[in-house]
Amino acid sequence: MKAAIIGGGVIGGGWAARFLLNGWDVAVADPDPQAERKIAAVLDNARRALPALYDRALPHEGRLTFHADLATAVAGADWVQESVPEVLEVKHRILPMIAAAAGPQAIIGSSTSGFKPSELNAAGTHAIVAHPFNPVYLLPLVELVGDTDTCARAADILRSIGMYPLTVRHEIDAHIADRLLEAVWREALWLVKDGIATTAEVDEAIRMGFGIRWAQMGLFETYRIAGGEAGMAHFMAQFGPALSWPWTKLMDVPEFNDELVDLIASQSDAQSGHLSIRELERLRDDNVVAMIRALRRTGSGAGGVVTAHEAALPDAGEGDGLPITAMRQVPVSWTDYNGHMNETHYLETASLATDRFMQMIGVDADYIASGRSYFTVESHIRHLDEVHAGDRLTVTTQVMAGAGKRLHLFNRLWRDDTLTATVETMLLHTDLSTRRTSDPDPAVAAHLSGWVDRHAGMPAPEGAGRSVGLGR
């Protein structure tokens, strides 16, 4: 699959990273002589952050190319994303050029944050709005506006690269999310202009309070809870009258003059001017990754999107005749004060591999819900080489034994062609209702027996069976 990105700024670069890191070839067209350097900086951040959301490896990167000619970039593309400046005259000049060069299969999306499809397509083009949020490579939301069938096709593609398409029912200026953001932005400008709060204090009010609630529940579910056991109807009855009180200035805009710009800019510089933009981006990315990973535990919000996308990623196949049971990139949070991966996460990686092998023999969520599983009773780890943030780990699993209640596995952790660790594990099948060992279901036993036979002719791994329990 190929995506063409027209305009390589912050948003265009984010789109390029999102597609590229999901295995698409990406062609970029941008007359800016600094486009390659700017996109390289975005890609550095994306390669560090996006894989950290996942417990499985994303597809191998596609091929990135840069083109001076728009038509060459667009040729053969399945998706064309226009991310030129937010000036309607510029879009009216670029979109017909894209339409003329694109094939009939191509979806043409515009990153516009405010214009409607009817405005974009005044020159007879057929683009849809595909409005993302920065950083595009991490935040899943994309607002889709336009032709129903095209938006449906677009939604399928966006889900396949781990995004959350939200189709807007009727076209409207600024779509949905930016209209909400605009309301908060206007009120924040008044609070700063009137001396009620500084830029830092406004940001603290958001990130220390309702911003966290919004990240996992949004607006209406948050207020439903605020209504207590009586729910939303009670909340509306209790707080509805406040809508007529003069609390906000949403219909007013402070005069946008040099004085206001200097006030906001000076406070913003005092707030975070000690950090470069790249440092702020990485701080933002690390925080977004941590919050989305936390949301994965409950399947809420953006966490549910990542979990669904991960489940759709293809299996990794085999390596050296053994099943590849885990592939993932090492996140920054796994490294310690020595600069390499902490010993805890070697075991965690092997645990992911063991869980995957259990699924392969039928010990999946339904089996566990029925009251049966395997419990780890002993593990033996050998640390053979350092692993650093950003390294891609691949785990192969060899079945050493699997008869009756016992399951004996040997996991190898590889960084490219280098063996970095081995984790040998003994597990016993257990009845969850009695917490005692038991024989597995016949179907599970049959699957396991097949793997035992398949691996029976392989030599015993070096270092296997050195711990007391595993040597018996």
Domains plus CATH for the chain?
2-173 (3.40.50.720), 178-274 (1.10.1040.10), 315-456 (3.10.129.10)
Taking residues 55-62, what's their average pLDDT? Answer: 92
Q: Which long-range contacts (CB under 8 A, 24 or more apart) does 305-310 make?
A: 305/140, 305/162, 305/163, 305/164, 306/53, 306/54, 306/140, 306/162, 308/159, 309/159, 309/160, 309/161, 309/162, 310/54, 310/55, 310/56
Q: Is 404 annotated as a binding residue?
A: no
CA-to-CA distance for 130 and 166, rounded, in angstroms?
A: 9
The answer, yes or no, to whether residue 367 has pLDDT greater than 80, is yes
What whole-number distance in Å separates Cα of residue 119 and Cα of residue 468? 73
On whether 11 is known to bind a ligand per the annotation, the reply is: yes
What is the spatial distance between Cα 51 and Cα 22, in angstroms, rounded to a whole number?
10
Between the CA of residue 364 and those of 277, 357, 403, 444, what are the distances in Å? 44, 10, 19, 10
Q: Is 109 annotated as a binding residue?
A: no
Sign of CA dihedral 31, 36, 42, 47: positive
What phi, psi does 381 have (nearest 5°)? Answer: -110, 135
Q: What is the rounded radius of gyration, in angstroms, for the C-alpha atoms of the chain?
A: 27
Structure tokens that stand for 296 in this block? 């994965």
Distances (CA, A) of 40 to 13, 16, 43, 281, 397: 8, 10, 5, 14, 36
Tokens of 239: 């707080």
DSSP state for residue 14 in the 8-state scheme: H
Distant-in-sequence, close-in-space partners of 400: CB < 8 Å, separation ≥ 6: 408, 409, 410, 424, 455, 460, 464, 465
The residues near 374 (Cβ < 8 Å, ≥ 6 apart) are: 358, 363, 407, 427, 428, 429, 430
Q: Confidence band (pLDDT; 50, 70, 90) for 466?
A: low
Q: What is the mean pLDDT of residues 166-180?
A: 95
> What pLDDT digit, counting tens, does each position of 142-166 carry?
999 999 999 999 999 999 999 999 9
pLDDT, one tens digit per residue, over 287-325 is 899 999 999 988 888 999 999 999 999 888 898 899 999
Q: Is 463 annotated as a binding residue?
A: no
pLDDT tens, residue by residue, 353-365: 999 999 999 999 9
d(CA 103, CA 101): 7
pLDDT > 70: percent of the chain: 98
pLDDT of residue 376 exceeding 60, the answer is yes
Q: Name the token pair of 36.
A: 């390659």
Helix (H) or strand (E) holding 4: strand 2-6
Angle of CA points 188, 303, 397, to nearest 5°: 150
The predicted pLDDT at position 196 comes to 96
pTM for this entry: 0.83
377 Cβ contact list (under 8 Å, min separation 6): 426, 427, 428, 469
Reported as a pLDDT band with limits 50, 70 and 90, residue 472 is very low
Reading the block at residue 46, the tokens are 């994306």
Q: Are the C-beta atoms of residues 468 and 379 closer than 8 Å to each other? A: no
d(CA 391, CA 48): 10
Q: Which residues of 5-37 are buried (b: 16+ CB within 10 A; e: fewer)?
A: bbbbbbbbbbbbbbbbbbbbbbbbbbeeeebee
Please identify which residue in the block is written with the tokens 């728009």: 70
Q: Across residues 75-103, what is the average pLDDT?
A: 96
